[in-house]
Structure 1
Amino acid sequence: MAVVPEMPIAHTWQPEHLRLAVTAAGVALWAWNVDTDLFTMDERGFELWGLPWSDAVTFEELSAHIHPADRDRVRAAFAATRAVLGRYETDFRILVGGEIRWIAARGQGEDVGIVGRTMFGIFLDVTGRKQAEESNELLAGEMSHRVKNLLTIASALTAITSQSTTSKEEMAHRLTERLTALGRAHDLVRPLPNGQGHAALLGDLISVLLAPYDDLGAFKGRVRVAVERMGVGENAATGLALVIHELATNSMKYGALSAQTGTLDVSGQTEGAHIVLTWLERGGPAVTKPEAGAGYGSKLVRRSVAAQLGGTIDYDWSESGLIVHVRMERDRLSS
């Protein structure tokens, strides 16, 4: 006689089970009295906002912890919830000490589910998701910027090569060499895998990055690099390569490297716990200081120098040519 398997018994949810599920999901519960403006939250809610426990807080007191850039928007969003048909969600930042957290507030609008003049909803900590989104946006912007620069350089390389060669075979050969050198330089923007030590020697790294620009003028050797022999760590290589690449791109567009007789000297000197690279352009077109409001490339350079190299970058827009001083922490550069 065949044995009929027993049907599973449906689970009966108890209040304590709901609480366990809410805690596991990191959900904070809130209730808002639309007449008194009082907010009550569970323990998770007060932890999320970085506030000591209390029976209730006013919405105004709570909103004081919202990031100033989001505060008016959040106040307007909560005030408008009673006119919203169905579910709503709004994301905003709060300040907890020196930390910024992203919160998602979810609830039901148009008085749906209102009990005793009180509306109910939840708060979720979505900081991780928002940080990932911001990182992806930054990466997309950075990659777009790099691709545009590479296309600009490739176009300039093609034009210059076509003017300095006498046959298509010679042009193809020289252009291939230059694009290959540019590719090697671009590869150095990426750090080496963990455990492989220094990404490059400082002089080698700078020389390879600048090699594609060396023979674009009236003579070879117009790009000169003179720095001490020291290793650049895999963490610092990315930041330094981005800085050199950006400076070279701008020089080729507007500076000394755009002129046949322009020259570029990169030198280094030690100042205590720092090393200072000096980027000196001569023989190019007249230099003028850009208008206020740095472009994406300048912002990228400053962020890379500060965040990855622990230093600063200063520009001297002298009439005879651009001078740039890149000050970096020696320990950060070698790590």
Structure 2
Amino acid sequence: MTSNADNLKPLLWEPKNLVRAIEAAGVALWSWNVDSDALAMDDHAYDLWGIPRGSEVNFEDLSAHIHPADRDRVRAAFTATRAILGAYEIDFRIITGDELKWISARGQGDDAGMVQRLMFGIFIDVTGRKQAEEGRELLAGEMSHRVKNLLAIASGLTAITSRSTSTTTDMARELTLRLTALGRAHDLVRPVPGQTMAASALLGDLLTVLLAPYDDLGAFSGRIRVSVPRMSVGESTTTILALIVHELATNSLKYGALSVDMGSLDISCSAHDAAVTIVWTETGGPKVTPPTGARGYGSKLVERSVTGHLRGSIDYNWAKDGVVITLKVNPDRLTA
């Protein structure tokens, strides 16, 4: 007497069922004639590459879809497979229409593994994994950059505090107040869910709190002056603006008006239908010279934040008396 499990065993090994397993895994099959350069692929591979099913293809046909920056590398890798012992794998980008995909090609190298001059392998769409890796790399880069900036801020704030106090006790108290203000800014730009009905902040409050630690006498009465109309900023835009202000203030603390005792910073704002315009004006600092060479990570991050999330623009006027930065924000994005 046989059990149901015994009766099902032959089904596990039926070729059509194994093919179903391959399809479920998203694996595309290919074989390659190393002499004629002809390729045979299953339907999934044709779809993956954006090529009509059943078309006669060779490696050069596929190369037309490979990203230009990866094309020579992939050609060299496939040519080298004849000399590779054992399994190989290469990841590269392809372009199908307007879509960019990451493909992983895997196979078995070495002439000894061929069958009648044919080599065999698979294609796998690894776009999701590559995007996740790029996201982690960007996050790691941003975190590294922020740590460096925090160290620069701590150093700058310590120097500012030492100039404005006469005893170690006063210096410790003032430095603690400034660091506490940074903490308040963090709370402002990272609201705890449930604290308020609407996750938003006032633009003037946001700028004042973020810039208070950089001012010897406080944002309202010292050398940093904030004058903006009353308007709300949404949660996600609050975070973006905080990042931008953080970058600009750090640069000013390192090289601009906030790096010297007599420097001052004025921030004004005007709101029109086309854009919300924020003007950052520095005066009294070191003589300004336009930057040369490649832009730093912070500058790229600011520009990407402005043009991307805020759907606006940022303009730098490198006047000798002090830089003037004009930031334009799409009004619809301000409350996002």
- TM tier, shorter chain? over 0.9
Return the offset for 1:183. 2.5
Aligned to 2:124: 124
Contact 2:164 2:216 in 1 (8 A): no
Question: Is the counterpart of residue 259 in structure 1 residue 260 in structure 2?
Answer: yes
Q: Residue deviations 1:74-127, cap 9 Å, x none?
A: 110011011111000000001111211100000000125322211110000100
The AA in structure 2 aligned to 1:17 is: N
Aligned to 1:162: 162
In structure 1, C-alpha distance between the alignment counterparts of 2:309 and 2:192, rounded to whole Å: 15
Contact 2:29 2:123 in 1 (8 A): yes
Question: Is the counterpart of residue 173 in structure 1 residue 173 in structure 2?
Answer: yes
In structure 2, C-alpha distance between the alignment counterparts of 1:191 and 1:298, rounded to whole Å: 26
* Structure 1 residues 23-102: aligned runs within 5 Å: 23-102=23-102
In the alignment, which of 3, 8, 11 is matched to residue 9 of structure 2? 11
In structure 1, C-alpha distance between the alignment counterparts of 2:255 and 2:4, rounded to whole Å: 78
Aligned to 1:149: 149
The AA in structure 1 aligned to 2:250 is: T
Structure 1 residues 196 and 129: CA distance shift in structure 2, 3 A = farther
Q: Residue deviations 1:210-254, cap 9 Å, x none?
A: 11012179x952111111211111121121111111000000100
Q: Which moved more, 1:314-323 or 1:150-159?
A: 150-159
Q: Could you say what secondary structure the match of 1:80 adopts?
A: helix
In structure 2, C-alpha distance between the alignment counterparts of 1:284 and 1:248, rounded to whole Å: 13
Q: Could you say what secondary structure the match of 1:161 adopts?
A: helix
The size of the alignment, in residue pairs, is: 330
Aligned to 2:239: 238
Contact 2:283 2:321 in 1 (8 A): yes
Return the offset for 1:7. 11
Q: Which moved more, 1:77-86 or 1:198-207?
A: 198-207
TM-score, normalised via structure 1 length? 0.93
Contact 1:41 1:56 in 2 (8 A): no
* Structure 1 residues 148-297: aligned runs within 5 Å: 148-190=148-190, 193=193, 196-215=197-216, 220-297=221-298
Q: Which moved more, 1:59-68 or 1:208-217?
A: 208-217
Contact 2:217 2:223 in 1 (8 A): no
Return the offset for 1:189. 4.7
Contact 2:179 2:213 in 1 (8 A): yes
Return the offset for 1:159. 2.5
Alpha carbon RMSD of aligned pairs, Å?
Answer: 2.1
What fraction of aligned residue pairs are identical, expressed as a percent? Answer: 62
The AA in structure 1 aligned to 2:100 is: I
The AA in structure 2 aligned to 1:74 is: V
Q: Which moved more, 1:226-235 or 1:325-334?
A: 226-235
TM-score, normalised via structure 2 length? 0.93
Q: Could you say what secondary structure the match of 1:309 adopts?
A: coil
Contact 2:307 2:313 in 1 (8 A): yes
The AA in structure 2 aligned to 1:325 is: T
Return the offset for 1:204. 1.0
The AA in structure 2 aligned to 1:99 is: E
Q: Could you say what secondary structure the match of 2:292 adopts?
A: coil
Structure 1 residues 44 and 188: CA distance shift in structure 2, 3 A = farther
